[in-house]
Structure 1
Amino acid sequence: MGKKKPLLNLVLITGGSSGIGLALAKKFAELGSKIIIVGRNKDKLTRAMDEISRSFPDKSQEIIPLQADVSQHEIYIPLLMQTLDTVGVPDIVVNSAGITKPAFFNDISIEEFRKIIEVNYLGTVATIKATLPRMLERNSGHIVNISSVAGFIGTPGYTAYGASKFAIKGLTDALRLELLHTDVKVSIVYPPDTQTPMLEEENKIKPAVVKALSEAASPVSAEEVAQAILAGIVKQQYVIAPGKETALLHFLAGFLGWGPIYPIMDWMLRDAERKVASSPTKYAYNDVANPNQRC
């Protein structure tokens, strides 16, 4: 089917109370969209609503908060469906809710693995379960799943988080094909390190080598990522890779294959280890942080 101009009338964003989700909600607000934001913290939702409403060109625009934990699927899905019964079927669904804990594999419990997967991956599945049937019935809509650079290249310190984001890639790749002959589109986003409250918390507890490795690229702003996502939605791009470095890495991995990438990653890890050995205090561990910071 040919491309149609995407409708932006009603937008649903999980994780919309902070980080990339909040920045994206502001972008849609500027375009006049009605917005549903999902978040589990009531105070953060209230602050986010205030920030988003300031971006409304028309004060009659609506923002609908939904306080819910996307990992509590048996509660969340009925709540979301009740909301949609009232406000209608979203034109755009952005799955941005996520958590992480940067730590080496042996330092992460099975329960922590499970929680990260329940939020990042199954929370995305739950949102799609509640919205996709309605989109198909209407035969229009666009689902945008937020993965990560760690969702297409394995990164030390992110075995749990990376696995959840790789799962999103597998889900989205399969959905793209299943929906190929419909007017429901899908996109996958691979943000690099992004200046968000979640990254601030990560940086407090990253293992030294992971902290040194992350210095290979400067974090981008949430606004830059949001702008790239919005542009990708308008162009109906399947892959959205914000930032020049991310776009280049994704292109090289696809064009050259993983053969040349693995030696580069090996070299980067050894370089990070040398940095830590030469400046141990610079990369000292700081455990004053919330390991389950939600975006």
Structure 2
Amino acid sequence: MSARINTILIIGAGGGIGEALARRFHSLGKKIIATGREQDREKLTQLARDLPGLQFRVWDLTHLETLQTEVRGILTDFPKLDSVFINAGIQTYYDIFQQPADDQTVIRELTTNLTAPILVAQAFASHLLSLAQSGIKTNLFLTSSSLAYFPVPFYPAYCPAKAGIAAFAKIMRMQLEATGCKKDMMNVVEVVPPYVDTPLNAAHRDKTDELQGGKDKAVQPMPLGEYVDKFFAELEQTKEDGSFRDEIGVGFGAQLAALWRKGYRKALSESGMAE
């Protein structure tokens, strides 16, 4: 892994998995650029104090009108950026029939979890491809979720948004193959976490536990530290040519990604649409 990543942009590093990834990559000697929303400014400032050399940008992905400007600014300051990790996300619980969320809440969730990550990936794609074609190995990580493959009734906007990210990662990888870029030079990686103990669902965790029969019966999250340890262990399990695996799942996320490969991926290959 060390040979593939030198400078990495982590989008959504103001807390949870993103912050934990920033800390671990920094401990491995990587140059980190971290982003978060305005409400994460103090956390990002502290992160920069804790991790010498880390730089951060306050960037709210829902402000789509500034997205291209933000990307250009980052590439101007970091022209050798070789890795982008798109990890930002929000999650809301609501009942479509009993108490539906208002339109703006749903739009914000879909924008944060699906529209903006796709636009960010597209905005960095040509830069990463150009570096790869010049001989510098590059990587694009897109965080989906085990819920992309296993939708639950609690999250009517989050689950389809993450399913969209899973599909987009696969499509992007197939289009990358058509460019003729060597497979070991640019990797598009779907990151598939299980349910992890982060602030993502803090506002509604008690409610979803209750709907599962109470905390004693409800599915409980994997501790954040355990997830990060397992993620980095999986990251080291590269292909023979040194490339990252197409999907890096942990726990339930790994099981579901494997099921997709055994089923839909096999059907896709047999259709002639992918190798």
- Normalised by the size of structure 1, how large is the TM-score? 0.75
Provide the secondary structure at the position in 1 that maps to 2:93. coil
- State the 1:196 CA deviation: 0.8
Bigger RCO (CA 8 Å, 6+ sep): 1
Unaligned runs of 5+ in 1: 258-295
Q: Which amino acid in 2 is paired with 1:237?
A: R
**Whole-Å separation in 2 of the counterparts to 1:251 and 1:7:** 24
Provide the secondary structure at the position in 2 that maps to 1:127. helix
Cα distance, 1:151–1:176 mapped onto 2, change above 3 Å: same
Structure 2 counterparts to residues 81-120 of structure 1, below 5 A:
81-106=72-97, 107-120=100-113
**Whole-Å separation in 1 of the counterparts to 2:230 and 2:49:** 22
Aligned with 1:196 (options 172, 195, 198): 198
Provide the secondary structure at the position in 1 that maps to 2:165. helix
Cα distance, 1:228–1:52 mapped onto 2, change above 3 Å: farther
Moved more, 178-187 or 155-164: 178-187
Moved more, 25-34 or 248-257: 248-257
Using the aligned pairs only, state the percent identity.
22
1:156 aligns to 2:153 (yes or no) = yes
CA deviations 1:172-213 (Å, max 9, x no partner) are 010111112422211112212111112322314548325759
| Contact 1:157/1:207, CA 8 A, preserved across alignment | no
- Normalised by the size of structure 2, how large is the TM-score? 0.80
1:39 aligns to 2:36 (yes or no) = yes
- 1:265 corresponds in structure 2 to none
**Whole-Å separation in 2 of the counterparts to 1:99 and 1:85:** 29
- 1:22 corresponds in structure 2 to 19
Cα distance, 1:28–1:207 mapped onto 2, change above 3 Å: closer
Moved more, 66-75 or 102-111: 102-111
Please tell me the root mean square deviation across aligned C-alpha atoms, in Å.
2.6
| Contact 1:151/1:162, CA 8 A, preserved across alignment | yes
- 1:237 corresponds in structure 2 to 245
- 1:289 corresponds in structure 2 to none
- State the 1:115 CA deviation: 1.3
**Whole-Å separation in 2 of the counterparts to 1:164 and 1:79:** 23
**Whole-Å separation in 1 of the counterparts to 2:93 and 2:253:** 20
**Whole-Å separation in 1 of the counterparts to 2:93 and 2:222:** 19
- State the 1:138 CA deviation: 1.0
Report the number of matched residues: 247
| Contact 2:190/2:247, CA 8 A, preserved across alignment | yes
Moved more, 7-16 or 165-174: 7-16
- 1:221 corresponds in structure 2 to 223
Runs of 4+ in 1 over 4 A off after TM superposition: 210-216, 252-257
Unaligned runs of 5+ in 2: 239-243, 265-275
